[in-house]
Amino acid sequence: MKPYSLRRRLLLWLLLATALLGLAALLDTWREALRTAQSVSDRVLVGSALAIAERVTVDQSGGLEVDIPFSSLEMLASTAQDKVFYRVDGPVGSFLTGYPDLAVAPAPQGGIAFTDGTYRSVGIRSATLLREVSTGARSIAFSVTVAESTRARAALARAILVRSALRLGLLILGVAVIVWVAVTVALRPLERLGEAIAERSPGDLRPVTADTPEEVEALVNAINSFMARLGTALDGLRNFTGNASHQLRTPLAVVRTQLALVDRNAAPGPVTDASAKARTALERAERVLAQLLVLARVDASSGAAVLAPVDVVAVAKGVTAELVPTALQYDIDLGFEGTATAIATADKVLLAELLNNLVTNAITYAGRGAIVTVRVTTAPHTAAPHTTASHTAAPHTTAPVTIEVEDNGPGLSPAQLDHARQTRADAPRPLPSLHKGTATGMGLGLAIAAEISALFGATISFDQGRSGSGLLVRISFPP
């Protein structure tokens, strides 16, 4: 599963929630802006209508006359974009002055009515005021209607909305910065926890004691519990390896001693042949047992081995010298070629086990009279396309240090060579024998070599020998 950023996810959700709340607030602000603009416009309309109503008087004939004051209309012309309309009507709907086609809203006696509409293709807001003027003997009713286009009102609402939107935008930006800082600070304990674990060596399974908040305590406890279980499992595996080595090798040694006594005391014949076969089977069992124990030791070291610079030449010379007596028993010419020194990142003990298995396999299966060469070089080497990579190391074309174990024995068939090239450290064990006409056991040696190579981050490849026969096993360390 692709990893994701907790910081970005928290920031996204918090900013999304803030944006939704800001949008809701903006919509409410827009409605409030419209109400505010309309309220302001209505008060101006009422003031203008009252100013006109105050100038309605009774003439000498008993009729009504009106002197429209300029100030009453000037207060409506708040912007150059707005248009102002008015009309004054006498009793029974008699028109006095103004725009005769301007609609009059029904208003209660002594009250005022507001209405929205359209006049001359312009949206307007109008107010109708109903009043009476006294002649002394009677009262005459009249109405004043004042209308103003809604451009100024819409402009006021938009101005309020824009200012509110700017304030909300700045608020959201400030919240984003605060949330980013807060999330960063809140996640620092997790970063410290990761650093504390990353700084440990592979074999350090002590409980984690980093300073963490309560919310991370469950994670820390789970990590500590897992490390405790892992430590117990590794200890059990190491104990099993030691006990198995002691408990299994002891009876095998007793059997070997008894077979030696039988050979010394028994008469020649079938008993001697049976004894020889039993000794061969015993040697094979001891060899397989030793390889299984090495595999168990490698598995136990997978999480605890501490890699360091190692002189590969010194280790290779030491292993070669130790196996010379064994090679002489098989009438095999075992030798070493290489530079004076070659340093690679590895574990000295496991590297010796790796070389021991490869050289032992070559001695065992190359055949009598063969030549086995252990070679260490530091020259760059271009790996063949069939090179088998380790678990974690990516395939590469150069290797500062290369170890080769080559023999001129019968070698492998094309099918067996392909099988060897496909062998990985995680392949099922034991692997089938690869050399022609030999008993099982070679597969375990290859499995050990593959596992140790993977532990070092090195690559292992298999080819025919340079002479066209035999087997060439190459271990290439990363740069």
pLDDT of 254 above 80: no
* 180 inside domain: no
Question: Per-residue confidence at 242, pLDDT binned at 50, 70, 90?
Answer: low
Domain boundary among 123, 142, 158: 158
Distances (CA, A) of 226 to 197, 220, 233, 238, 298: 13, 10, 10, 18, 21
Specify the pLDDT at position 355: 92
Tens-digit pLDDT profile for residues 332-373: 999 999 888 899 998 888 899 899 989 988 898 888 889 999
Specify the pLDDT at position 428: 37
> What is the per-residue burial (b if ≥16 Cβ within 10 Å, else e) of 43-65?
ebbeebbbbbbeebeeeeeeebe
Question: Per-residue confidence at 184, pLDDT binned at 50, 70, 90?
Answer: confident
Same domain, 10 and 119: yes
Is pLDDT larger for residue 447 or for residue 367? 367
* 189 inside domain: no
Q: What percent of the chain has pLDDT over 70?
A: 73
pTM of the model: 0.44
pLDDT of 386 above 50: no
If you write DSSP's letter for every residue of 137-148 in order, what string do you get? Answer: S-EEEEEEEEEE
* 167 inside domain: no
Domain boundary among 281, 305, 329: 305
Question: What's the mean pLDDT when you consider all of the chain?
Answer: 77
Measured CA to CA, the distance from residue 102 to residue 189 in angstroms comes to: 74
Measured CA to CA, the distance from residue 457 to residue 201 in angstroms comes to: 17
* 258 inside domain: yes
Same domain, 143 and 232: no
Specify the pLDDT at position 335: 93
Same domain, 245 and 334: no
- What is the residue range of 467's domain? 307-476
**Cβ partners under 8 Å of residue 465, min gap 6:** 406, 407, 408, 411, 471, 472
Same domain, 379 and 433: yes
Measured CA to CA, the distance from residue 202 to residue 222 in angstroms comes to: 18
* 61 inside domain: yes
What end-to-end distance do the CA atoms of the chain give, in Å?
30
Q: How many folded domains does the chain comprise? A: 3
Same domain, 269 and 238: yes
Same domain, 313 and 284: no
Tens-digit pLDDT profile for residues 19-76: 888 888 888 888 888 888 788 888 888 888 888 888 888 887 777 888 877 766 665 5
> What is the per-residue burial (b if ≥16 Cβ within 10 Å, else e) of 73-93?
beebebeeebebbbbbbbeee
Domain boundary among 267, 286, 305: 305
Same domain, 384 and 411: yes
CATH number of 363's domain: 3.30.565.10
Structure tokens at 400: 């500062």
Measured CA to CA, the distance from residue 201 to residue 324 in angstroms comes to: 37
* 232 inside domain: yes
Measured CA to CA, the distance from residue 296 to residue 288 in angstroms comes to: 12
pLDDT of 311 above 90: yes
Same domain, 354 and 207: no
* 182 inside domain: no
* 177 inside domain: no
Measured CA to CA, the distance from residue 161 to residue 30 in angstroms comes to: 6
Same domain, 442 and 391: yes
CATH number of 109's domain: 3.30.450
pLDDT of 201 above 50: yes
Same domain, 216 and 289: yes
Same domain, 313 and 276: no
Same domain, 220 and 132: no
